[in-house]
Amino acid sequence: MLGQSVTIRLEDGKFVLAAPKELDKLNPKELLLYSTALCAGKTLLRLCEQKRVEILKLEIEMSGVLDTEQLEGRSKFDSFNINYNIECKHISEQPKISQALQLSYEKYCGGLEMLRRIAPISHSTSIVSIEVE
């Protein structure tokens, strides 16, 4: 089985693809993962804005396992995983971010909904605050 993954991060209010990958060099499977991560990130930011929570740092890794040993046109995804790494200012903001994440994951991100039709998606989250009080 072959794994594919892309990581995006929020920089100056915009999502960028993490090095060493370049957008114009992604294969079609990676582009699918990239677009889903971008959708998830934008959805999360919008939901956090509505809850009046500021995310200081955000990194999203979207990965998938293919059913072939090598990347081929016929390769299909068997599973997906989305990993969120988030930094906020106050510990009191963590529950609001968790709620926004849950809403994004369950209801509002069309990209994740599309992938669920292809294969199961798991997710993991790390939320860190820089101030406890």
**pLDDT greater than 70 at residue 132:** no
97, amino acid identity: I
Quick one: pLDDT at residue 109?
Answer: 76
Question: Domains of the chain (ranges plus CATH)?
Answer: 2-131 (3.30.300.20)
122, amino acid identity: S
| Spatial contact of 36 and 9, defined as CB atoms under 8 Å apart | no
Q: Which of 88, 111, 99 is nearest to 47 (CA)?
A: 99
Local confidence band at 128 (pLDDT 50, 70, 90 cut-offs): very high
Q: pLDDT by residue (tens digit) across 35-82?
A: 999 999 999 999 999 999 999 999 999 999 999 999 988 899 999 999
